[in-house]
Structure 1
Amino acid sequence: MQPLIETARAKVNLTLRVLGRRPDGYHDIDSVVAFADCVDTLAFAPGGDLSLTTTGPGADACGDSGDNLIIRATRALAECVPGLTLGRFSLDKHLPVAAGIGGGSADAAAALRLLATANGIVADDERLSEAARVTGADIPVCLASRACSMQGIGDELAALDLPELPCVMINPRVAVATKDVFAELGLKKGQFRVGISEVLEAVTWPKVGASADVWLDFLKGGANDLEAPALRVEPIIGDVLTVLRETDGVRLARMSGSGATCFAIYGNADDAKSAGQAIAQAHPGWWVHAGVLS
């Protein structure tokens, strides 16, 4: 039997508000999420003991395979599904790690989709969602890997009709720990960053079929609340944002997630491609991707 194959798309937070911190320590967020056309590739051969091998340019950064999110998500699903068929995973790792684009979470979500296929589990089975939720905050949104609004602790999702947005993504190959950025944000348990009226204020989303220009105007009204604390943790993020904001044709530049990956959106694919080529030539040590968000 040929191995089953899934791609794991990078997640990009186009906006990210941190509303507050719950008494249990988790942070409430409100985010517009898109997915990029840069991926890791995960193969699964059903049967036998659970294992994971990693290849590709990012393999060395993946750490202990026994504690990888792929293995943890599989074990979480096995607790929900008696007799789950396990097997051998092979990950071709290209996305940077600890980068604010959910690379490990996307890999784990791809593993859950592969296990669902191998075990005849339908895509909307609640056991998949539960395994994703208990394994990591970004894994539920990566299960479907489509544009959506994400709220709560990452578990409240609503699909969005987002057009394709030409983009450039940059990571300076500096890992940034999410916990360090949230620590720098400095919220105490039970503390809110915004008033209740702001939390309850209804969002007027662009209409179905709205153009990229309409969406860009909408996104410009947002922000990433983790950008400022991430800059204090790793100042090179400021250099990346400056480089993106100085490129021709850029319409919006912002950090994704807790960093250090930043993205820029352009009016057309040619501008994005030219910007990506110029940045890659000027900064050969950086990870640079020119493509599309959707």
Structure 2
Amino acid sequence: MAGIVFIMIACLTWALDTLIRYPLLGQGFSTLQIVLFEHLTLVLVTSPLLWRYRHHFMQMNSTQSAALFFIGGVGSALGTLAFTQAFHYLNPTIVILLQKLQPLVAILLASWWLKERIHGYFIRWAGLILLGSLVMIWPDVRHLAQANWYYANSTPDIIKGYSYTLLAVLAWGVATVCGKYLASEKMPANAIMSGRFATGLMVLLPLALLYPASVQPMATLSLGKLVMMALLSGLLGMWLYYQGLKRIPAQLATLAEQTFPVFAAIINWLFLGMSLSSYQIAGALLLVLGNIGLRFKEMHLPVQPGTASLNQA
């Protein structure tokens, strides 16, 4: 159960992150600048870990190196940028709906690559969790028929919106499985975390050089808030996430990540005065109880010798 709890608390830190990230975007700072400065801060803070685990990095084979680069360069950097960029072309409800495909990507890839078996009980509990996720946003989905689906006016731009969204879905789903793969290869969680930030920065720096107009001076107050956000959702959040990921299969981890909107709704209620709807409350209960029920079911399964099961950690 500890693994699920770790990831849920990580989701809480990611939800708190929005109290700083979106105001910074509202001040006119680009997504690229915010994500770049965030990774730069995290690399500076975790540089002692990069040095400590340098031998682990140098001894990685090509598959392990590719997995680490995918986690940071693609999942952490490009995935975040693509997801944010999609909102410029598509209705946010469409983007969030498509993001619900992320667990499917992670579950299927974990089954194929990590040999995590998909049991009948898992499908039932996963269905309940995903149902809860959809119930939370049902009022927005219901209003899609009367809403403008696209903010773009041309077909190529609409295709861009869907492409950005699906890139983020693939990037985050595969990154979850790559993280579990490295954990199963006995790579320390702190090595994965610090390597994630470093490889993410390796991708973001060239992008900043290609688009220098995206980076502008920041006032001390704004920079301080960004550093605080990086330490909260980046350092603490990802430390909690990888502590959880090493304890549970990727299949369970990707479903536990679906509790993020639960905490986001609670944060909006507590700090922004947004009331909780009956749909949000019902969906949140399904999400949390589904994750807890699935973990309890998995913990009480007998382990079959010589087979890969959801009890692998």
Instruction: Place the TM-score, normalised by the shorter chain, in its bin.
Output: under 0.3
TM-score (norm 1): 0.26
- The structure in which a higher percent of residues are helix is 2
Higher strand share: 1
TM-score of the aligned structures, taking structure 2 as reference length: 0.25
Which of 1 and 2 has higher RCO (CA within 8 Å, sep 6+)?
Answer: 2
